[in-house]
Structure 1
Amino acid sequence: MSENLVALFQNIGLTEGKAKETAKNKNLAPTLERVINTAGFQDKPSEKSTGALLYHLASTITPAAAPHIDYIAEAIRDSKLTTSDQVSAAIKFVSNKKDIDAAAFNEECGVGVVVTKEDVNKAVDTYTETVKDKLIKDRYKYFGLFFAGVKNIPSLKWANGGDIKEAVDAKMLEVLGPKDERDVVVKKKKEAKPEAKVVEVVDVLKAPDMFFEGELSKLHKPGENPQIKPELMQEHLKATGGKYVTRFPPEPNGFLHIGHAKAININFGLAAAHNGICNLRYDDTNPEAEEERYFESILEIVKWLGFTPSEITYSSTHFQRLYELAIELIKKDQAYICHCTGEEIQMHRGGPERGPRTACVHRNRPISESLELFEKMKNGGFEEGEAILRMKMDLESGNPQFWDLVAYRVLKAHHHRTGSEWVIYPTYDYTHCLVDSFENISHSLCTVEFTQSRPSYYWLCDALEVYKPVQWEYGRLNITNTVLSKRKIAELVKKGYVFDWDDPRLFTLPAIRRRGVPPQAINNFIHTLGVTKSDTVIEVTKLDAFIRDYLNETAPRLMGVFDPIKVVIENLPEGYEQILTVQNKPRDPSMGEHTIPFTREVWIDGSDFREVDDKDFFRLAPGKTVGLLNVPCPITCTKVIKDDAGKVIELVVRYEDAKGFKPPKTYIQWVAESPKHGSPVRLDEVRLFERLFNHSNPQDKREVPGGYLSDVNPNSLKIEKGALVEVGLWDIMDRWAKSSQSKTDFEAMRFQLIRIGYFCVDKDSDLGDFKSNLENSIKNKAKKIVLNKTVGLQVSSTLKSKD
């Protein structure tokens, strides 16, 4: 890592820690260095806003736009591009262009466009007239749709989001007056422990915008949460400019799962909805469980979902400051060194019988003694478990989160960032709220299991007289027929029930990604669920239905056969070839088209032939006629050829004349035999996945008394070998190779195999050296092709019985 690079990156406003981290990034560092030099800030600091845009450019530039990166950097330097939206528009505009038309660039990217508050107010006035009846009818419940409609006004494309929000608020107040009893949402009496709700997809599609209606609409604005000292809020607002500041703070001790997708969407989405910022913060205070692969995977998944952190931070960056504040807490007689064992602490808290709580013998030791012992802890004078620092809270409180929580413990473990510098580490209960404070978080969003922690969160901030963010809780997202616990997934991996943490049968986000689920489908699904205070349990079949509906609109169609039977068309000549043009999606020309060969020899699936016909079977049988998809004329089976064991290995058919021939009732998929076209595409494996667990809740001891491992479905994976697919797969692979930025996102090659299901290419495939000579098709390089089934087709019972 070059010290010159670190200094250069600090010129554009990166903190020292961020600059060092960026300098280590082999992909980002040279790109950022180039744009800084192009913009002329190698020897002088830039404005912070300009630096942020240069960083945004370097971190989001695509290969297709890279030749024009200097042009965009200069536009940022010259203040032609002043927002991240404009930079993103610029990247999109210059992609795949040989030359840049300056006038067209300026127009497409909003260069010189100034949208004043007056412009915004006029647009809001005009729009209001078009929806006034609806607004008056629904009153403040209409806010989300009203705001979204205004945001979509073309003339406001480059307007400041805060100005739009202000204008909308003012207009609603003008038209409706202040909120009154008509706008009060009547709540039912809150039950002690609400039941988790199973959400039907058909219901959630009607959910309102989750950032402007429902629970999130009740959040305070930045600056409205009280502080123990008013000047703390003044300093906070000065640092943030009054913006919404959120963070996604995972512990890097495992892979993210589907529940985290909700947290990511809420934290990044809330900030974006209010023109704020969201950081990715690694809560790296447990060195024994943290691994580099978890850090890398978390960032990769956040980006895969489409979010870019404003800054990547680490709790460990603040170890020294956290330590110093712990000393302050001791000096205030609000923390003490304790030598109790875990069992002793439990007994002092009332034990299993929940009896009276008592102070341990160490609670009232002299301040000077605790200070001396804490220093001894820091210097390695205690072994693990011999001493802890506890916060002196309120043992009489009914809230367990006030029962003298542990702030520091001894851990003689190597830390991925600080090495062996520290042998004491702060706990989550101590670290979380203070780092939120250090980073000027305006809204600390977390799931409902932390509701009891909110008072202790506030207690610690006030005790140390630091800025106090607001903590707000939302319900967790859970899925049926799976487990999300890191410990349980680790056990599944260790005992060989699944390949790894990204096995497509799991619901970790790497696993969901590997299964071929598009990130947009996950984000859209989260948004349809909305945000509530109750945990949400989604039937896995409902999630599958949502994924299926999304892929139905976006995935190209291919033909493939899993159990190939050779078909020879007897009345076509040897060497016959017809090139057919096939739409990538029937009745949707916007999806494009591809070509496939039709030859004398083709392959059909074994399930589409029966040697003994049946009146309810409408596919191929001796003497029976069936259509081949996209082929002009149908075929009739005239002969069946078997091997010595009596297995059907070849069918001889007649190609019928379309004139005067009655159209067949059924059309089946097929794949041509044409080596010069690379047909068929021969697959090494097709992995077909079913539910990993048999029961909806494999952790319910009433339904699964033997434990979750006893509920594993032994038939959750079936591997098909020898399957064949049409040459349209080569087209999909070649397009991917030319457009993909990472060259590792094999799962982005998604498609529907007609009448079978939706599939993607698995990372276990070996496509050869596809990065070099992109003009040479992958069909000439591929060594191994593996497909994963993403989700099946929804087939009615009628079709199942007849077709």
Structure 2
Amino acid sequence: MTDIEKPTNFIQQIITADLEAGRVKEVVTRFPPEPNGYLHIGHAKSICLNFGLAEQFGGTCNLRFDDTNPEKEDDEYVQAIIEDVRWLGFDWGGEPRFASDYFGQLYSWAQQLISDGKAYICELNAEQMREYRGTLTEVGKNSPYRERPAAKSLELLEQMKVGAIDEGAMTLRAKIDMSSPNINMRDPVIYRIKKIPHHRTGDEWNIYPAYDFAHGQEDAIEGVTHSVCTLEFAANRPLYEWFTSNLPLPSIPRQYEFGRLNLNYTMTSKRKLKQLVDEGHVDGWNDPRMPTISGLRRRGVTAASVREFCDSLAVAKTDGIVDVAQFEHFIREDLNNNASRAMCVLNPLKITLSNYPKDQQELLVAPGHPNRDDLPSRELPFTRELYIDRNDFNEDTTLSRKKFKRLVIGEYVRLRSGYVIRADEVLKDATGEIIELICSYIPGTVGQDPPEGVRPRGVIHWVSATNSVDCDLYCYEKLFTVAAPDAGEESFIDHLNPDSLQIIKQCKAELGLAGAEVGQHFQFEREGYYAIDAKHSSAGKLVFNRTIALR
């Protein structure tokens, strides 16, 4: 390994030691989402870690869907997850894997646990099971069905499987230790009856394995060497290891936990994110205000910035909260380096250049990026009638140059990549609102210093009034008004930001943006970073999402 590749976190150290000791020949990791919602920024850290470890150590990472709960799962989520992982730039090789691929094998292993006296069919209902389980301070007590003969449990399991038993009437439980201080070890349920069609297996099964039973066995089938998950599964590891040590598995995987990613002003509970979608508080799972990967992509966040952010985070054995400003830094940094430049006037004010020929048009040239020669330059139509931003003009001629570096009557500004102009006259309507400025341009000042005595206050952006494109801008702010929206007694719904979306219509953008496509990123000079909205844009209608403001 090179110096750059030397282990920097505890999981890398474990893998290095396993390889050097010969305990592992080839590293195999996995990313195992449950297809019951869209992936979010917290998942991105796990994706980058698991795929990154496999890449670093020359191994493989499997994409595996833990689809053991048909009640909440859907193929829509499967396809969205596949798209998200691919967008982040990762490849799992071959087809995605599914827990449902292994239902037959898992059922056979459940039968073996019964035959070995390590599992039994229990007829306690959910409420009784909670009562028998005990509490953190009180041990549980054995189910009255715990010593049921193996033959009878095998018979009942088969009846459960073929649909002869009602939902809730029976479960298959592992026989472990009802007095264990770890409640997960108190005879956990490993199969439940669910007479619900599965998104892949249809009506083939009437029972489904619990996640805790399926997960370790799936890892073993796939030859996973390092099963890396977040800290909330630490208490489940003894159960994971109990199953792997009590079944004739083809390999013995090991589970390691790391601290999950928590961002302030953000919520990553899939159940609560689904509530936002179902109740119409957001425009679907891919709403650009959502912390989902698809929402970030639609907003214009780049895959590279997500990966850089995730790679910057500590892989530790404790949870922590990361300031969202840290994520925004990586988004802004990537877009600053890579986004093409363009001009867009958000609040247009017409100006007429009185000394510019009426029918003349020039094509001025502006760089595509100030530091990137590989990004093509832009052609800007320059005409007698232009638009500037209304905020770039002020009637108060007493404002100092230091306080207001834009246009006032009788003074000059430079148009970005264009001429120096002077404001000469203000035109107003009957209500006193400014509707137009009459200005004059200084010939020979494109890319050249103005004549002596002409001192521009500053530089402003502009577009041609007769040769530009209309667009709408969707400007997003934080979805929540508090740093921890799902903490405390109030509902997270109470903390939704009513100003999280501002729509600015009838903006004027430079002509070259007429051909902008989804996936392109732009810095609208002096305004922020924007990207085409994949949902609201259409032929003849340009809609840009503001990805992030300038610093």
TM-score, normalization by structure 2: 0.94
Structure 2 partner of 1:443: 226
In 2: Cα distance, 1:593 partner to 1:656 partner: 24
Please tell me whether the aligned partners of residues 222 and 244 of structure 1 are also in contact (alpha carbons under 8 angstroms): no
Please tell me whether the aligned partners of residues 504 and 511 of structure 1 are also in contact (alpha carbons under 8 angstroms): yes
Secondary structure in 1 aligned to 2:169? coil
Structure 1: segments with no counterpart, 5+ residues? 1-142, 149-208, 227-232, 737-745, 768-781, 795-803
1:680 aligns with 2:468: yes
Which residue among 564, 571, 574 is the counterpart of 2:355? 571
- Residues 484-526 of structure 1: CA deviation (Å, up to 9, x unaligned): 1122112212222211111111101111111100001100111
Structure 2 partner of 1:116: none
Structure 1 partner of 2:131: 347
Which residue among 268, 280, 302 is the counterpart of 2:63? 280
Structure 2 partner of 1:130: none
Please tell me whether the aligned partners of residues 337 and 362 of structure 1 are also in contact (alpha carbons under 8 angstroms): yes
In 2: Cα distance, 1:560 partner to 1:418 partner: 52
In 1: Cα distance, 2:34 partner to 2:505 partner: 40
1:619 aligns with 2:406: yes
Matches within 5 A, 1:398-547: 398-466=181-249, 467-547=251-331
Please tell me whether the aligned partners of residues 340 and 368 of structure 2 are also in contact (alpha carbons under 8 angstroms): yes
Please tell me whether the aligned partners of residues 251 and 283 of structure 1 are also in contact (alpha carbons under 8 angstroms): yes
Which residue among 416, 423, 426 is the counterpart of 1:629? 416
Secondary structure in 1 aligned to 2:114? helix
Residue 623 of structure 1, CA deviation: 1.9
In 2: Cα distance, 1:316 partner to 1:489 partner: 26
Letter in 2 for 1:214: N
- Residues 720-778 of structure 1: CA deviation (Å, up to 9, x unaligned): 000011123235x2xx5xxxxxxxxx1x11100011100000012444xxxxxxxxxxx
Structure 2 partner of 1:213: 8
Structure 2 partner of 1:164: none
Q: Percent identity?
A: 39
Cα RMSD (Å)? 1.9
Residue 646 of structure 1, CA deviation: 2.0
Structure 1 partner of 2:526: 755
In 2: Cα distance, 1:413 partner to 1:552 partner: 50
- Residues 468-494 of structure 1: CA deviation (Å, up to 9, x unaligned): 101111110111112111221122122
- Residues 6-58 of structure 1: CA deviation (Å, up to 9, x unaligned): xxxxxxxxxxxxxxxxxxxxxxxxxxxxxxxxxxxxxxxxxxxxxxxxxxxxx
TM-score, normalization by structure 1: 0.65
Residue 265 of structure 1, CA deviation: 0.8
Which residue among 336, 347, 368 is the counterpart of 1:584? 368
Residue 225 of structure 1, CA deviation: 12
Higher helix share: 1
Residue 277 of structure 1, CA deviation: 1.0
1:595 aligns with 2:387: no
Higher strand share: 2
- Residues 690-716 of structure 1: CA deviation (Å, up to 9, x unaligned): 111111001221xxx432111111111
Please tell me whether the aligned partners of residues 389 and 408 of structure 1 are also in contact (alpha carbons under 8 angstroms): yes
Residue 288 of structure 1, CA deviation: 1.1
Residue 383 of structure 1, CA deviation: 1.1
Please tell me whether the aligned partners of residues 225 and 470 of structure 1 are also in contact (alpha carbons under 8 angstroms): no
1:642 aligns with 2:428: yes
Structure 2 partner of 1:671: 463
Structure 1 partner of 2:550: 793
In 2: Cα distance, 1:693 partner to 1:223 partner: 44
Structure 2: segments with no counterpart, 5+ residues? 444-449
1:700 aligns with 2:487: yes
Secondary structure in 2 aligned to 1:293? helix
- Residues 179-220 of structure 1: CA deviation (Å, up to 9, x unaligned): xxxxxxxxxxxxxxxxxxxxxxxxxxxxxx6x7222123214
- Residues 503-550 of structure 1: CA deviation (Å, up to 9, x unaligned): 111101111111100001100111111311112321112211221111
Residue 662 of structure 1, CA deviation: 3.2
Letter in 1 for 2:354: E
Please tell me whether the aligned partners of residues 344 and 462 of structure 2 are also in contact (alpha carbons under 8 angstroms): yes
Please tell me whether the aligned partners of residues 750 and 758 of structure 1 are also in contact (alpha carbons under 8 angstroms): yes
Please tell me whether the aligned partners of residues 474 and 545 of structure 2 are also in contact (alpha carbons under 8 angstroms): yes
Q: 1:342 to 1:687 in 2, by over 3 A?
A: same
Q: 1:597 to 1:661 in 2, by over 3 A?
A: farther
Letter in 2 for 1:717: L
Matches within 5 A, 1:103-122: none
Letter in 1 for 2:468: P
Indicate the structure whose relative CO is greater, using CA pairs within 8 Å and at least 6 residues apart.
2
